[in-house]
Chains A and B, each alone.
Chain A
Amino acid sequence: MMAAATLGSWPGGFAWAFARDFRLAWRSPGETVLVIAFFVLVASLFPLGVGADMRLLERIGPGVIWVCALLAAFLSLPTMFSSDYGDGSLEQMALSSHPMVGWVSGKIAAHWIMTGLPLTVLSPLLALQYGLEADTLLVLAAALAIGTPVLSLLGAACSALTLGARGGGMLLALLALPLFVPILIFGAGAAEAQAAGLSPSPHLSLLGAALIVAGMGLPSAVSLAIRIALD
């Protein structure tokens, strides 16, 4: 036990950072609630804008919900590393004996639990507002469950790259949103394929492949970005 604590390890760092960020979010749940409120609000604005024609809403539903999820996930990105960067705790974590990739993954996982997971859980409710069928609704939730972790991973890389940059929020949007394009296409495509009577599994498989590649590659990219920021 002592040896593990002094040497540091990937799982140790992961568990520590995950527990820390989760506890911080649990103690001030305002931010998570805001993300969810934003998601629901924007998704409810679309019918007001395009009209309450149920056939039209059913047609655009999956896409709209995906775009809203994407924007909601993006909203919480700027604070992912910046508060820790601002008060110096990021530097202390970088100095800890745990490998950086571990605790970075822990922070990303905590971010997903606080944004992606609530959005996934809420999405069937919004899909009902758009009049989607029950099976489409399940596929949409499944696609969100696989796709939102990729958004958190990609977003973490962009968030770490913009640490200490001028024009933070808009710059982050410019960096992150183009990278989100494939996830949006596959994610919304899964539900649309299901609604059109096709199998959604190719889209879901591609999302899964994206998740595996992103999960393997991006934590090290985020670590490198943090090292660049701390130099």
Chain B
Amino acid sequence: MNWFYLSSPSTFYRFAGWLTPWFFALAALLTAAGLYYGFIVAPTDAQQGEVYRVIFIHVPAAWMSMFLYFVMAAYAAASLTFNTRLAAMMARAVAPTGALFTFVALWTGAFWGRPTWGTYWAWDARMTSELVLLFLYFGFIALANAFDDPRRGDRAAALLALIGLVNLPIIYFSVHWWNTLHQGSTVKLTGTSMHVAMLTAMLLMVFAFWMYAIGAALTRVRSIILERERRTRWVRAL
């Protein structure tokens, strides 16, 4: 198989159009299953009561917010090294979804924090680094759209994403040493202290969000391709 076959925007436009409904359908199915497990099957938490159920949205959103930044930076690196147009468009397409999940993680965290910690906002390490991550996403989106020449915006934003990627662990550890209130990770690679139904619901939601992110990014990249290539013959023929 020729790996560069799909790197042409016109080919990828059709390919993405064919894939998108499948990813959205998967996202809907997984969300339905995840919410069923989360709200009906999973037991009530002994300490936190029903409030804990917000984790089925909060934790997957927080994971995806960080994961999507890595995905975006990987596309940015590919676009800078191979100078491909499509990789830069993908980086642009992933960014708003990443920002959305970051915002959702902060928002749901605030509503969980009020009954549990007694405050909507605390200057806790993870919350602060998530907030900084939101600003990094905003910076990327703003820089990508700040130039008249879209290719210029692509390349500048790609470099910014890479600088942010190096800085992200430093920001995380700096705020971690600075202040921490957040509970430690419950889900670790070596095993978990969680009820099976809770874990199932959470993992289902993670995959649901993942599928949604792919579907949304592909939809967005299709619009970007159309916008960029509007003067070409294949777009006019559509």
Contact = CB atoms under 8 A, between A and B. Distances in A.
Interface of A: 157-158, 161-162, 164-167, 171, 174-175, 177-179, 181-182, 185-186, 189, 206, 210, 217-218, 221, 224-225, 228-229, 231
A167 B178 contact: no
B28 interface: no
Interface string B112-124: 0000000000000
A181 B131 CA distance: 11
Contacts of A185: 174-175, 177-178
Contacts of A224: 159
B146 A166 contact: yes
A231 B175 contact: no
A210 B167 CA distance: 10
A161 B174 contact: no
Interface stretch (B60-68, B134-142, B219-227): B134-142
A210 B143 contact: no
B174 to A, nearest CB: 4
A191 to B, nearest CB: 14
A218 B132 CA distance: 20
Interface residues of B, number: 26
B135 A217 contact: no
Given A157-B163, A161-B160, A221-B163, A175 B178 contact: no
Contact of B159 (A167, A181, A225): A225
A165 B147 contact: yes
5 contacts: A157-B159, A161-B156, A164-B152, A166-B148, A228-B156
A174 B142 contact: yes
Contacts of A158: 160
B166 interface: yes
Contact of A161 (B132, B143, B166): B143
Contact of B143 (A175, A182, A218, A231): A175
A225 B138 contact: no
The 6 closest A-B pairs by CB, nearest first: A165-B146, A182-B174, A178-B135, A175-B139, A228-B155, A185-B174
A189 B156 contact: no
B41 interface: no
A165 B171 contact: no
B159 A217 contact: no
Given A185-B174, A185-B178, A162 B132 contact: no
A174 B166 contact: no
A228 B139 contact: no
B38 interface: no
Nearest to B176: A185
Given A182-B171, A185-B174, A228 B160 contact: no
Contacts of A167: 142, 146
Nearest to A218: B163
Interface in B145-164: 146-148, 152, 155-156, 159-160, 162-164
A231 B164 CA distance: 23
A179 B167 contact: yes
Contacts of A225: 156, 159
B222 to A, nearest CB: 26
Contacts of B51: none
Contact of B142 (A171, A181, A182, A229): A171
Contacts of B139: 171, 174-175, 178
A186 B166 contact: no
Given A181-B174, A210-B170, A221 B146 contact: no
A231 B151 CA distance: 10
